[in-house]
A = this chain, B = another copy of it.
Amino acid sequence: MRVAVVGVGLIGGSIGLAARERLGGTVSGWSRSRSTLERALELGAIDRAGDSLADAVRDAEAVFVCAPVGVLPDVVREVLAAAPEDCVVTDAGSTKRSVVEATVDPRFVGGHPLAGAETAGVEHARADLFVDATWYLTPTPGATGVLFERLHRLIRELGARPATIDAATHDTMLAAVSHLPHVFANVLVAQAASALGEDGERMPATGPSFRDATRVAGANSAIWTDIYLANRDALIEQMDGAITRLQDVRAALTAADPDAVTAWNDAAREDRRRLLEAQLAGGPLYELRVSVPNEPGVVATLALELARAGIDIADIALYPTPDNSEGVIALWITGEEPAARAESLVAERGYPVARA
């Protein structure tokens, strides 16, 4: 298989490594930055550096365009102009309609691997980056069947799980579960900074709910401005829904209506349980909250002990008190039985523990 990668950063570099190591493919690469391209070559992410974009893709059977969302339509157009007639072209952008709608070509299938947003750059590329990761594919009805099938198989061979979805549903989904949470995080910190601004020195002990809710605030603008804008109509729809919900809660608060507030809060608990259970394989999720002194080694020892007992932790978060003297560890365990064993183990060590 002859694969071309246009844009050889973390994602493109990892595709190159995986295609070479897992498929025995031949990979040509292209980057506007000559030094990045040479680094990719040194690291073995590509076999050959193209002299130009057209040169990199000229005899490819599959091209992966790994460019920022904002320039995807242009770069994909350029690739399609240079790629062979029987070559499938895809991208890795995290919003899909903008590139899919701009691209009328039976060789193109939109794509979005859910992997590796944390460490950028080809130096962090790994052949196993996509192992078991969901990789959305958003073909249009006009896509050539044989090319779509080739891409689907290729992505499975890279180790990922291809999931076919239409571009609009993909973007609505991502707007709701990723882009809106980012917007909310930004709004929360801006609002808190403004509410507390006058107090200057006397910053509050904000506590874990604030820290968690704002963890993604101010995510890398080089990536996120593009994402927000490319998906702006789906995002605006979700924002409008959220604003309406805020106004409904505001009305219940203004009316001092405890039943309405309780019903709203209880519904949120059920919704969250349902959403998280559905997305994590292996059965329902149980959350344990453990109070511990916040000393070096406590979390580690506890996690290690659970590991020794064969209990895998799906999610973990430490909420320290502001002075770090103590804290609560939240442990998310998959499955009733492992959760019960984890609870016993933790209790035996003398730490207060409760199911959340």
**Which A residues lie at the B interface, using CB under 8 A?**
114-116, 118-120, 124, 126, 128, 131-134, 161, 163, 165, 169, 172-178, 180-196, 199, 202-207, 209-219, 221, 224-225, 228-229, 232, 235-236, 238-243, 245-247, 249-250, 253-254, 256, 258, 261-262, 264-276, 278-282, 289, 291, 294-297, 299-304, 306-308, 310-326, 328, 330, 334, 352-354, 356
Contact = CB atoms under 8 A, between A and B. Distances in A.
Contact of A268 (B116, B217, B291, B304): B217
Copies in the complex: 2
A209 to B, nearest CB: 5
Contact of A325 (B131, B203, B245, B308): B131
B218 A192 contact: no
21 contacts: A114-B207, A118-B354, A119-B352, A124-B291, A172-B195, A177-B204, A178-B207, A181-B212, A187-B245, A190-B264, A191-B241, A205-B279, A212-B216, A219-B269, A225-B262, A235-B253, A239-B250, A296-B310, A296-B311, A315-B317, A324-B334
B245 A323 contact: no
B315 A318 contact: yes
Given A126-B352, A236-B250, A270-B218, A131 B326 contact: yes
A236 B313 CA distance: 38
Given A204-B173, A324-B281, A253 B268 contact: no
Nearest to A187: B245
A324 B312 contact: yes
B313 A299 contact: yes
A182 B249 CA distance: 12
A217 B180 CA distance: 15
Contacts of A241: 191, 194-195
B254 A236 contact: yes
